Amino acid sequence: MPLGGDVFGSLFFLARSPECFSEEDLDFAQRVADHLALALSHQRLAEAARRDAEARETAARLEAQVATLTRELEARTGHRRVVGQSRPWKDVLAQAARVAQTETTVLLTGESGTGKEVVARFIHQGSRRSGGPFVAINCAALPDQLLESELFGHERGAFTGAVSAKPGRIELANTGVLFLDEVGEMAPTVQAKLLRVLEQREFVRLGSTKLLHADIRVIAATNRDLRAAMR
């Protein structure tokens, strides 16, 4: 059965005795095969049209969602933050809108100044955690020990100068999003503790043994090639 220049399938006629089919039977079989191929061709075209319609509907829905989230983010920040009309930027926002509906951890990569925090806030605004806080920390701006304290918090007396207990950014981001900017600069010792947060959603303040629950979503950003750094 020819279909679109290709052979889609075959039509078999079985008989109890050999050489019982006539030329008329062969002509009939060819007509049946042609009709079946035509029907299958129409079915394929209808299926392709349905997929195209669904794709257009999905694209339109994502564009509408991007526009809505952009307006909401601009209203919340008080000035325009999500700008740009280029196709690559719109594609980035469309992907962000899709991932916003999930709870997965997100890694944003790109050169400094390309808008990674803007995209992170965009994801937060479009997620079910939009009512929760958006807490950001620059991992490259703090020494290792101070970064650990800022992330996980500390108890009184945990180290010199810790005159009172202090919650960390993880606690402050409860029910919301923790944005780790320049996560590639984080020391391995801090990475190990952060891994526990990502895998088990629990952590311990410095100077304490009490396990605390982390109801957060983590979005990280880096301008480094982390795959190359792992080699």
Query: What pLDDT does 70 receive?
Result: 63
Q: What is the CATH number of the domain that holds 92?
A: 3.40.50.300
| Residue range of the domain that includes 30 | 22-77
Cα Dmax for the chain: 102
Question: 81 and 44 in contact (C-beta within 8 Å)?
Answer: no
Query: Where is the domain boundary, 58, 77, 96?
Result: 77
29 and 48, same domain (yes or no): yes
**Other beta carbons less than 10 A from residue 44's beta carbon:** 13
Question: 89 and 62 in contact (C-beta within 8 Å)?
Answer: no
Q: Is residue 67 part of a domain?
A: yes
226 and 163, same domain (yes or no): yes
Query: Where is the domain boundary, 36, 54, 77?
Result: 77
Domain count for the chain, please give it. Answer: 2
pLDDT confidence tier of residue 71, bands split at 50, 70 and 90 = low
191 and 138, same domain (yes or no): yes
Query: What pLDDT does 78 receive?
Result: 46
The per-residue DSSP string of 213-224 comes to E---EEEEEESS
Q: In the β-sheet with 106-109, what is the strand arrangement from edge to edge?
A: 106-109, 217-222, 177-181, 134-138
- State yes or no: pLDDT of 25 exceeds 80: no
Query: What is the distance between the alpha carbons of residues 70 and 51, in angstroms, rounded to a whole number?
Result: 28
Could you read off the pLDDT of 116-152 as tens digits, one per residue?
998 999 899 889 999 999 999 999 999 988 999 999 9
pLDDT confidence tier of residue 162, bands split at 50, 70 and 90 = confident
Q: Is residue 220 part of a domain?
A: yes
111 and 147, same domain (yes or no): yes
